[in-house]
Homo-oligomer: A and B are copies of this chain.
Amino acid sequence: MRVLITGGAGFLGRRVLSALLAQGKLMDSDNNEREISRICVADVAGPPQALPDDPRLETVYGDFSEPGAARRLLRDDTGVVFHLAAIVSGQAEQEFDLGMRINLDGTRGLLDACRELSQPPRFVFSSSVAVYGGDMPPVIQDTTPPVPQTSYGAQKAGSELLVSDYSRKGFVDGRSLRLPTIIVRPGKPNAAASSFASSVLREPLQGEDVVCPVAAETGVWALSPRRVVDCFVRAARLPASAWGKNRTLMLPGLTVTVAEMLEALRAVGGDAVAARVRFEPDPFIEQIVYGWPTRFDPRRALDMGFAADNSMTEIIEAFVEDDLGGLIAS
């Protein structure tokens, strides 16, 4: 069985790739465990770091939303698709048409291409809690309706509807995961409005000063890269029956404020590290981030066996271990 990961050169895609290479097996849409013979990593460009040297790996770089491109990413033995490719929130807000093309039309093009396969593949879609917005309850429930207040959120919510309906029609066996803010992302800041949530930890741990564009009391609904990869793999392994009539799932996470993040940073890295964060409000970021919910009751995901991190300290320690080789620039 072949597996496709769109956005596979991104930091989450690379981790999903590593997890799948290590496990070597995954469920097909009949829920039979099958040997993974090939994994195709598709992305707009190659990764900043080399991908693992593995004979099962193939790579395709280019815009998957171009006509015919999605179909070329698939082969008849493609049994599972992880669709992670996206234009991030800040950029989708500033470049509306680009966001629509990649985040909405791109998902639809990929679903349409899957529909042409003789066997409907399992389709794991990376959605976001950015679908929530507007007048929200104090705690987001599984039954809280998405009322997106960003184009990114609207495009993700629209894609979820497509994944669900294409699943109901039997074109794919889909499942959409609403991701919390993933911290700590390695690498550089990006155009996501949530970029600060990684930066305020990542840069100080590597000896760099950083500006936090939101207030210390700003809450974030957070999940670590380790845990979200577990969630992706679990989502791919669960049978269609586990999803019932609702193919969309809000993932678990931890509610942490920036202040609590910095407290954990101090606990892990010491005072000098924590002192590298300076506050300087950015109204564009604030306007997006303050509309995001921070408290959730992810009962359905917990019942389905998905799990969050145990603490903010654990999240930072995992980052130091996985991405900094255990070294903190103290």
Contact = CB atoms under 8 A, between A and B. Distances in A.
A322 to B, nearest CB: 35
A143 interface: yes
B161 A157 contact: yes
Q: How many copies does the complex hold?
A: 2
Given A145-B143, A145-B145, A151 B135 contact: no
Contact of A165 (B143, B154, B248): B154
- Chain A interface residue bracket vs B: 20 to 34
Nearest to A147: B246
B245 A147 contact: yes
A148 interface: yes
A189 interface: no
Contacts of A137: 143
B151 A165 contact: yes
Interface in A130-171: 133-135, 137, 143-149, 151, 154, 157-158, 161-162, 164-165, 168-169
Nearest to A143: B145
A82 B299 CA distance: 40
Contacts of A158: 158, 161-162
Nearest to A137: B143
A245 B147 CA distance: 8
A245 B143 contact: no
Contact of A143 (B144, B154, B162, B164): B144
A244 interface: yes
A161 B145 CA distance: 12
B146 A145 contact: yes
A161 B162 CA distance: 12
A245 B133 contact: yes
A67 to B, nearest CB: 15
B154 A244 contact: no
A147 B169 CA distance: 14
A96 interface: yes
A165 B165 CA distance: 21
B245 A149 contact: yes
Contacts of A96: 169
In the A-B complex, the 4 residue pairs with the closest CB atoms: A145-B145, A134-B245, A154-B165, A158-B161
Given A135-B246, A157-B161, 19 more contacts: A133-B245, A134-B244, A135-B244, A135-B245, A137-B143, A143-B143, A143-B145, A145-B145, A147-B246, A148-B164, A148-B165, A149-B168, A149-B245, A151-B168, A154-B162, A154-B164, A154-B165, A158-B158, A158-B161
